[in-house]
Amino acid sequence: MNTSGWTAGFDAVLDGVTGGEMAARVPGVVAMVTDRKNNVYEGARGVRSLATNEPMTTDSVFAIFSTTKAIGGTAVMQCVEEGLLDLDAPAKDYAPAIGELMVLEGFDADGKPRLRAPKSDITTRQLMLHTAGFGYDFFNENYLRMATEHGQPSVVTSSRASMMTPLLFDPGEKWEYGTNIDWAGQVVEGIRGKRLSAVLKERVFAPLGISDMAFTRTPDMKARTAAIHARGADGSLTALDFALPDDPEVDMAGHGLYASVGEYMKFIRMWLNDGAGPHGRVLKKETVEQAVANGLQPHQKVVMLPGVIPSLSNDAEFFPGLKKSWSYTFMVNDEEAPTGRPVGAIGWAGLANLFYWIDRQNGFGGFWATQILPFGDPVSFGGYVDFETAFYRQMRQAKAA
């Protein structure tokens, strides 16, 4: 397919979100599209930080937050593929600490948490599908109360204590987005006997030729890192003195990686190529097919994410009104999206308004990276939707030509 004429359409979207009044723009953005072989578009606009006005470049480094999840999930599926992990065995067999967690039934009259033992053990399958019982304090009122009244640390501390949260419901009861994949990473560490960072470097990054992705940034990566910005109620933007910790206590498989967008595109290409990388295979074709298929039961529904900490997240949902499901570990489109994303395509997002999609059917994927809080920022999220829409419009035109 001839993609040579696509640049102008994508450039227009990036120009649109980085120009004009502050309330209607983002500080900076990097966006890319790849086919099965190479990037067919790379764009960068704006600045890394409003505090320094250093230009955003295609090699800028981002805290990629929950777009980390698919990478952590890949390490889990490698363990399954090698016969080292039974997805339906108790996860505590591999990560004993998860067996200590209780279910939060509510709070008594004095505000003390009411806890009980779960009715069943958490499995790694439930962790991968976000049905184990975990949530996030910025999406769940009970976790927010545990944080504000009982000192439950935020997961962005990447601390072991931040993982030792009560369950919000019994394992398997429903779908709720949360810290599940951080625990799945602990399962991998228990199996491999080494830090997740070492596992990913050896088994995922090396075969894909990825060097600019890590839980702890090199000095060069740190120098290229884009600042996280907060959008105020009036639409203004302020650069924050906040970053995910380097040298974290726990390598958080759910949100802890830093990366440049070009490196993430190498990971997306692996999914477009049935698990193969330029320097070796990451997953078998049949494992890829297993990993991208819906794994939820009929009673487990992917729902809107309610923003209960306004500074961190707005209410957020991809394609409201359309049915979505969940795989290991992606959102799956069960209906064609308004952008043109087809049934069966996968994707997800990161807290600082990073978004990606992987369309294995057509052989393309894309990534949109900004560093803005709260999640669901209308300008960045809207820009991403326009970016994906521009892609499918141009793809249809190329096919028709």
Asked if residue 55 lies in contact with residue 249, where contact means CB atoms within 8 angstroms, the answer is: no
Q: Give alpha helix (H) positions in 108-218.
A: 124-129, 141-150, 160-163, 180-192, 196-200, 206-208
DSSP 8-state assignment for residue 204: I
In this predicted model, what pLDDT tens digit does every residue of 166-187 receive, in sequence order?
Answer: 999 999 999 999 999 999 999 9
Q: List, for residues 275-329, the tens digit of each pLDDT value.
A: 999 999 999 999 999 999 999 999 999 999 999 999 999 999 999 999 999 999 9
Name the DSSP letter for residue 56.
Answer: P
At 4, the pLDDT band (50, 70, 90 cuts) reads: confident
On whether residue 143 sits in a domain, the answer given is no
Q: Which of 66, 162, 313, 380 is catalytic?
A: 66
On the question of pLDDT at 24 being above 90, the answer is no
Percent of the chain topping pLDDT 70: 100
**What's the DSSP call for residue 353?**
T
Give every CB contact of residue 20 below 8 A, 6+ residues apart in sequence.
none
Mean pLDDT (the chain, rounded): 97
The CATH number assigned to the domain holding 373 equals 3.40.710.10
In a domain, 243, yes or no: yes
Work out how many domains the chain is built from and give that number.
1
69 catalytic, yes or no? yes
Residue 62: inside a domain: yes
Whether the pLDDT of residue 1 is over 90: the answer is no
Task: Give CA–CA dist 288/375, Å, rounded.
Answer: 29
Residue 36 lies in domain: 7-78+190-400
- Domain assignment of residue 124, yes or no: no
Give the total residue count for the chain. 401
Does any domain span residue 42? yes
| 251 part of a folded domain | yes
Confirm whether 66 is a catalytic residue.
yes
**Would 148 be classed as within a structural domain?**
no
Q: Write down the pLDDT at residue 400.
A: 87
Q: Is residue 341 part of a domain?
A: yes
Of residues 136, 177, 328, 384, which has the active-site annotation?
177
| 250 contacts 182 by C-beta, under 8 angstroms | yes
